[in-house]
Structures are given as structure tokens and as C-alpha cells.
Amino acid sequence: MKRSSAVAGYFYEKNPESLKNQIEECFKHKLGPGLPNFLSREYKGKYPAFIVPHAGYIYSGPIAAHAYKLLAENERPETVVIIGPNHTGYGALVSIIKEGEWETPLGSVKINSDIANKLMKEYKMLTADYMAHLYEHSIEVQLPFLQYIYNRFDFVPICIMLQTLEVARELGSALAKVLKGTNSVVIASTDLNHYENIEITYNKDEYVIDAVKKIDEAYLMKVIEDKNISMCGPCPTATVLHYAKKIGCQKSTILAHATSGDTYGPKDSVVGYLSACLYTDN
């Protein structure tokens, strides 16, 4: 089974060369980190978990590039698990695709069926459901960045509609068990506060950033509700925070934070973007 790109030509360029150029411009943007200086040749396991935004590349690409530069220069995973929210409302509450390939303008990426099936066995709510992923952009937009920095990897897509702390902890624990001993990186795909002015968004986003710094998934879910933060991927983010703790990550680093008002567009109605990593001292 092949899943064709749903948002090529919309969230990012459809032509392969134009897409490569667009990704490079994200790195070179005034808010970007610069192009990777080199590409890691090995998996070290020091940076096993990331939080990355998922809007159109002209909006969030420069912020996402910070995560991908750090990843490119420090890790060479065999498998990348990408966890995103369900924006479409289609499909199961917590869904996975367990076989096949996903196509982007830069080629196809194979799904790691072995890991997908083990995750389904470990976490019973995780359901094989193609419809949940058919039009969803939050996972897809990460693939061209990964294809740009790695010539070979496979991946596992997980799409979450049920945004609860219980799901985050159960899925995070399942990931920690199944991925133990593998050369894997886990990415939470999320944007932060939506469609308020830039000052309000910066203020609200700081609460999310504080939770990431503390590696505290319970605080994240509580503060989103208490402060009315319209973050679209709270459960994917909470899942990665819980996963990071389970595998022994002691620290987190905020790599970049900005809004669409900083990268491209008006400042009276913006979306917040965050890149962060969770890592070990080993």
C-alpha cells in the first residue's frame, strides 16, 4: 500500500528540486539555524526525542529546521516514529499504519512493520486505520526534512485524535518498551497557540515551553486547559515527554520558538511554533 502525498504543492513545494531548495531556504532563513555542517554517520542515542512544528514551510519551516539540523549532525536513526494530531476527524482515536510506503516528491519512505505491529500488541488502543492518515498533514510534512538529511530510514506514523494524559502515558510507555535496543528517534509534531495576536501567543506559548523544560506531561495537559491554549498536538507532545522520561532523558533544550507573525504573515492572528529536543547526559 502506498500513501500519496496529501499536501505537496500546498504545505510545501511539489517539484523535487524546488522542494530541496525550499528546505535549504528554511535552514538559511534569518530565523533558521543555518545548513547542517555535516551529517552524522552513526546512531548515538543521545538525542532520541524531538518536538517539531508542522505548518506550511513558509511559516514553520525555519523553526522546524533547528530540530533537523541538530538531528542531522548528531544521530543517524534507522527508524523515526512520528506522532501527530488528527486534524481531519477521520479514523480511529489512536491510529497507526502498519505497512506500506508513504510518497513525497523526494521519494518513498517505507513503514517499519515490525515496530508498528509490536506497538499495536503492546498498546491495545492503537488501531491500524488508513483513513485517519489519508489527508492528515502533521506527520507528512516531517518526511521531506528527514529525506533531505538522510538517504535511508524507515518510519512509523501515529495519529492521535483522543488528546488525553492517559493516552500519552500509555502510548509513551509502549514506545519505551518496544523501541528499547533499536536505533530510533521519536518526533512529536505540533503547533502551539493558534489565531490570537503575537503578544498573547508568546505569553501562552511560554506555559507550554515551561512544561517541555520540566519534561512534565501532566503539567502540560493541565496548563493547556487552564490557560486556554489552542495547541493542536498536546497529546503527541505529552507522549514524547513521557517517553523521554521512561528512557532516561534528564534534560530538554528549546532550540527555537517563534510565530507565523515572525516568519511570514500578519501579527494580529498568528500560530506559535516550537522546536525542542530531549536528551541524555550519556
CB 218 within 8 A of CB 155: no
CA dihedral in degrees (196, 199, 202, 203; nearest 10)?
Answer: -100
Does the CA dihedral 132-128-125-275 come out positive or negative? negative
For cell 522546524, what's the residue? 64
Q: What is the CATH number of the domain that holds 57?
A: 3.40.830.10
Cα gap 272→260, rounded to integer Å: 7
Cα gap 232→229, rounded to integer Å: 9
> What integer pLDDT is reported at residue 265 of this predicted model?
87
How many helices and strands in the chain, by DSSP H and E? Answer: 10, 12
> What integer pLDDT is reported at residue 281 of this predicted model?
81
Q: What pLDDT, in 10s, does the model give residues 255-267? A: 999 999 999 989 9
State the residue range of the domain holding 178: 2-279
Distances (CA, A) of 89 to 92, 167, 205: 9, 17, 25
Q: Which residues of the chain have pLDDT under 50?
A: none
Q: How many domains does the chain have?
A: 1
- Pick the closest to residue 167 from 111, 106, 241, 227 (CA basis): 241
| Percent of the chain residues topping a pLDDT of 70 | 100
> What integer pLDDT is reported at residue 108 of this predicted model?
98
> What integer pLDDT is reported at residue 112 of this predicted model?
98
- Joined together, the cell numbers standing for residue 281 give 547526559
Distances (CA, A) of 75 to 52, 141, 267, 269, 280: 16, 20, 36, 36, 13
Residue type, 262: D
- Joined together, the cell numbers standing for residue 135 give 489527508
> What integer pLDDT is reported at residue 103 of this predicted model?
98
